[in-house]
């Protein structure tokens, strides 16, 4: 779709959600499967890969770096690993679209490879902070440049070697942690990262799955540079961040009853379940199992009367991508919901505190942004038109709000839903949401 076209979601009010559904594969795990599979020795076979624009950006980047990757076809991808030192200089810059995970993890993975490279992204990604990764990489001896504003394009210059770092993370960020662990694979010595609060640990789990020794002690994770990765098979669970829209939709829409299949419920990602349950949601975790080192379950959700809460600060990093959906739950809850300790939301694909506050206000909900959170007073959602600011998760959250609205909700600028959730309109409509996507010029 050309960027001049505006994909608008039209969502009629009311209805409920029902049926059995499987949302697409986990975005974080999909990125990492391409990265580690490419650097491994041997053939890695992936199933359940997310065929969304973000993870496809990572896949295309590794093809440009000379890796033979076939697929994706129905979520199946096969990678002929080139080994730790087999990547080749691409013919042009690596184009990473809207994907912060691709850029922040790749700059670490590539910093010690002796290659000359440039990483670029779309206008949203080009406005996001990158010094959080380039500063510690420079301390490891990398030569990585940002713009004067500390943003992409990122230019990587070859260096002789990297040295390991012992780094306490200034913010709870899995992207910084993963960036430095991936750089640490190429560094002399032991790279140790200490987190101020637990963040998603898919990189650590997957490194172990590829046979790379990773040590966890308390809040620290460490690895020794100079090892190798051995190819393996990876079955990627459904993304809890995509399931979150249905967890909220089914909770708020009276008469709903859905079963979400094969959802990843890694304890560093399950904040959305914990927070919704504190609000009174009826979510059953069924058939818990372990799939390739990641916990997975089926989630049954039935509608329930929600109440406003103070969101526990320790749940914030565990639900960091789910707040747009949770704000819609708060708008439908009885009483006030207060979020604090979530300033990171201001530097996501959009400023998610401001953009959600503006949209909720446009729909008649009392939502007051604060520097590190928001206060939302539950009430009646009106119909209206809101902007998603090109942010996939804002678009999908407002689509679910229509289940409890009095009038139709129109949402602008929704094409980036494809970054994480291709087929959202079809799946949501099949479950009972009265949604259509229309292109406007």
Asked if residues 239 and 264 have their Cβ atoms less than 8 Å apart, the reply is: yes
Burial class of residue 371, CB neighbours in 10 A (0-12, 13-18, 19+): exposed
Nearer to ligand S3P (CB atom), residue 173 or residue 337: 173
Query: Tokens at residue 409, please?
Result: 């909700």
Which of 122, 239, 298, 321 binds ligand S3P (CB under 6 A)? It is 321
Task: Give how many residues touch ligand S3P by CB under 6 A.
Answer: 10
Q: Does 30 bind ligand S3P (CB under 6 A)?
A: no
Q: How far is the CB of 174 from ligand S3P (least distance, A)?
A: 4
Site map for ligand S3P, 199-218, x if CB under 6 A? -x------------------
Q: How far is the CB of 193 from ligand S3P (least distance, A)?
A: 12
Window 10 to 29, contacts with ligand S3P (CB under 6 A): 28
Give the list of residues 6+ apart from residue 123 with CB closer than 8 angstroms, or none: none
Q: Which of 26, 201, 298, 321 is catalytic?
A: 321
The region of 169-177, 189-197, 362-370, 376-384 touching ligand S3P under the rule CB under 6 A is 169-177
Please, are residues 202 and 236 in contact by the beta-carbon 8 Å criterion? no
Of the pair 106, 414, the CB lying nearest ligand S3P is at 106
Residues 72-111 contacting ligand S3P, CB under 6 A? 101
Task: Check residue 175 for interaction with ligand S3P (CB under 6 A).
Answer: yes
Which own/partner pairs from 94-97 qualify as long-range (CB within 8 Å, at least 24 positions apart)? Answer: 94/61, 94/64, 94/65, 94/118, 94/119, 94/120, 95/57, 95/60, 95/61, 95/120, 95/121, 96/57, 96/58, 96/61, 96/120, 96/121, 96/125, 97/53, 97/54, 97/57, 97/121, 97/122, 97/125, 97/419
* Minimum CB–partner distance for residue 363 and ligand S3P (Å): 25
Does 315 sit near ligand S3P (CB under 6 A)?
no
Distance between first and last Cα of the chain: 11
User: What distances in angstroms separate CA 394 from CA 23, 67, 344, 413, one per listed residue?
Assistant: 17, 34, 15, 10
Residue 321 annotated in active site:
yes
Computed over its alpha carbons, how large is the radius of gyration of the chain? Answer: 21
Residue whose CB is less far from ligand S3P, 131 or 163: 131
Q: Which helix (H) or strand (E) is 273 found in, with range?
A: helix 271-278
| DSSP 8-state class, residue 44 | E
Q: State yes or no: residue 419 binds ligand S3P (CB under 6 A).
A: no
Binding mask 338-357 for ligand S3P (x = CB under 6 A): ------x-------------
Under rule CB under 6 A, residue 173 binds ligand S3P: yes
8 Å CB contact between 187 and 162: yes
- Cβ closer to ligand S3P: 54 or 413? 54
- Chain contacts with ligand S3P (rule: CB under 6 A): 28, 101, 173-175, 178, 200, 320-321, 344
As annotated, the active-site residues are 321
């Amino acid at each position: 779709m050309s960027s001049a076209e505006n994909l608008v979601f039209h969502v009629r009010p009311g209805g409920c959600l029902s049926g059995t559904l499987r949302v697409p594969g986990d975005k974080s795990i999909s990125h990492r499967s391409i990265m580690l599979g490419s650097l491994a020795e041997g053939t890695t076979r992936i199933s359940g890969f997310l065929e969304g624009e973000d993870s496809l950006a990572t896949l295309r980047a590794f093809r440009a770096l000379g890796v033979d990757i076939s697929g994706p076809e129905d979520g199946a991808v096969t990678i002929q690993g080139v080994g730790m030192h087999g990547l080749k200089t691409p013919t042009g810059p690596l184009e990473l679209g809207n994907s912060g995970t691709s850029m922040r993890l790749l700059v670490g993975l590539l910093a010690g490879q002796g290659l000359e490279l440039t990483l670029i992204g779309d206008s949203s990604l080009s406005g996001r902070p990158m010094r959080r990764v380039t500063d510690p990489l420079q301390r490891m001896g990398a030569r990585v440049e940002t713009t004067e504003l500390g943003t992409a394009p990122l230019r990587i210059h070859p260096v002789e070697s990297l040295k390991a770092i012992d780094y306490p993370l200034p913010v709870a960020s899995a992207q910084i942690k993963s960036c430095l662990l991936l750089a640490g694979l190429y560094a002399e010595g032991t790279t140790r990262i200490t987190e101020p609060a637990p963040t998603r640990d898919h990189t650590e789990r997957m490194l172990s799955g590829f046979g790379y020794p990773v040590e966890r002690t308390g809040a620290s994770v460490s690895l020794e540079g100079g090892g190798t990765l051995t190819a393996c098979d990876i079955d990627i669970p459904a993304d809890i961040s995509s399931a979150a829209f249905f967890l909220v939709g089914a909770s708020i829409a009276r008469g709903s009853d859905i079963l979400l299949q094969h959802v990843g419920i890694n304890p560093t990602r399950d904040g959305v379940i914990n927070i919704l349950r504190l609000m009174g949601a009826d979510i059953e975790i069924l058939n818990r199992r372990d799939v390739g080192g990641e916990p997975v379950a089926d989630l049954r959700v039935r509608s329930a009367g929600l109440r406003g809460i103070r969101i526990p600060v320790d749940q914030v990093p565990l639900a960091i991508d789910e707040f747009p959906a949770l704000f819609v739950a708060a708008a439908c809850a009885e009483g006030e919901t207060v979020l604090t300790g979530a300033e990171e939301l201001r530097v996501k694909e959009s400023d998610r505190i401001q953009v959600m506050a503006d949209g909720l206000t446009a729909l008649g909900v009392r939502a007051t942004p604060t520097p590190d959170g928001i206060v939302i007073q539950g009430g009646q959602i009106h119909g209206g038109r809101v902007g998603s600011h090109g942010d996939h998760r804002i678009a999908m959250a407002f689509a679910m709000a229509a289940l409890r609205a009095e009038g139709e909700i129109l949402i602008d600028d929704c094409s980036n839903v494809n970054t994480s959730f291709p087929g959202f309109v079809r799946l949501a409509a099949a479950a009972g949401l009265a949604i259509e996507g229309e292109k406007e010029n």
